[in-house]
Amino acid sequence: MSTTADSTNENQGLMRRIFTEPTSSAFTRWVAIINFWILISCLSLAGETVEPYASEHAGLFKVIEYFAVFFFTIDYLGNLYFAKDRVKYFFSFWGLVDLISILPSYLMMMNLTALQGSKVFRVLRVVRVLRVLKMARIALQALEHKLESSNPILTNLKIYFIALFSVVMISSTLMYYVEGNLYSPEAIAKGQAILDAELKANPLPEDAPAGSDKFVPVDPISGNPIPEDKRFYTSIPAAMWWCIVTLTTTGYDLWRKGDRRHHDVDGLGTVWYFVEHRR
């Protein structure tokens, strides 16, 4: 009995160190594990939008999601259990971030009838990307307990990397699901089927412009058609490149035209300026 009690106390002590003692090695290792799964799960979310990888590796992406949710669930329950004020943590910003990082995945796994609509399912997929904010919480914890390197440049670079990665990941995901879905293969096929049915009932005149029988998606805000050379957000990685180019002030259209050398220098200079002025 005493051996069992000692083992239980030892396990409780280890769990307490993991979630309440930032200076312990157990805490550091757990943070590394969580950061690893945040990064892997975000890359997996992006990979799910790229064909043919989305179809060929659907099983792999699903396994990655299950493992990520498993570790994020332990992290959330541990933080909730060892919080000084559990109710306060539950309704706090970071508590909600931890909850949001796992709740959409559980709802999708449950496959509820109410969630079968494409719009609801799309929202759940978008919300999953907010788990990247867990990185920010971990970084702030480290800064709060002065665990960062004394080198201000390394500290600032880490902060800016987390901020940049979070902005790029969230923005590119939103752009893909908001605009990219307008010209996804499924949307194009559906639109073409509708157009073919209309043309069957009302054929085009002989003098109709070339390509009139081909479906072209329309921007719901401006009402303008979106030609193939303007479909920038065909996947999350494609949208990420747009976001990076925009954030570094290079200008997406200029990059596409090939005039990018001095703009790349300007972008790198911008990053270095902020690093230096945080010292």
When pLDDT is averaged across residues 155-175 and rounded to a whole number, the result is: 84
Clarify whether residues 54 and 112 are in a common domain. yes
Position 177 in a domain: no
Cα gap 96→195, rounded to integer Å: 44
Q: How many CA atoms lie within 13 A of 40 on its CB side?
A: 18
- What is the average pLDDT across 43-47? 91
- Note whether residue 153 is domain-resident: no
- Residue 169, pLDDT > 60, answer yes
Do 85 and 189 lie in one domain? The reply is no
Report if residue 154 sits inside a domain.
no
The model scores a pTM over 0.85: no
Range of 142's domain?
2-147
Do 94 and 142 lie in one domain? The reply is yes
pLDDT tens digit string along 77-116? 999 999 999 999 999 998 998 998 898 888 888 866 555 5
Report the alpha-carbon distance of residue 90 to residue 75 in Å, rounded.
13
In a domain, 232, yes or no: yes
Shared domain check, 197 and 67: no
Structure tokens at 105: 């995945």
Looking at every residue in the chain, the average pLDDT score rounds to 79
111: left (phi over 0), alpha (psi -120 to 50) or beta: left
Higher pLDDT, 18 or 153: 18
- Give residue 279's pLDDT: 46
Provide the domain count of the chain. Answer: 2
3-state secondary structure of 91: helix
Please, what is the end-to-end C-alpha distance for the chain in angstroms? 56
Residue 235 has pLDDT above 80, yes or no: yes
Classify residue 89: in a domain, yes or no: yes
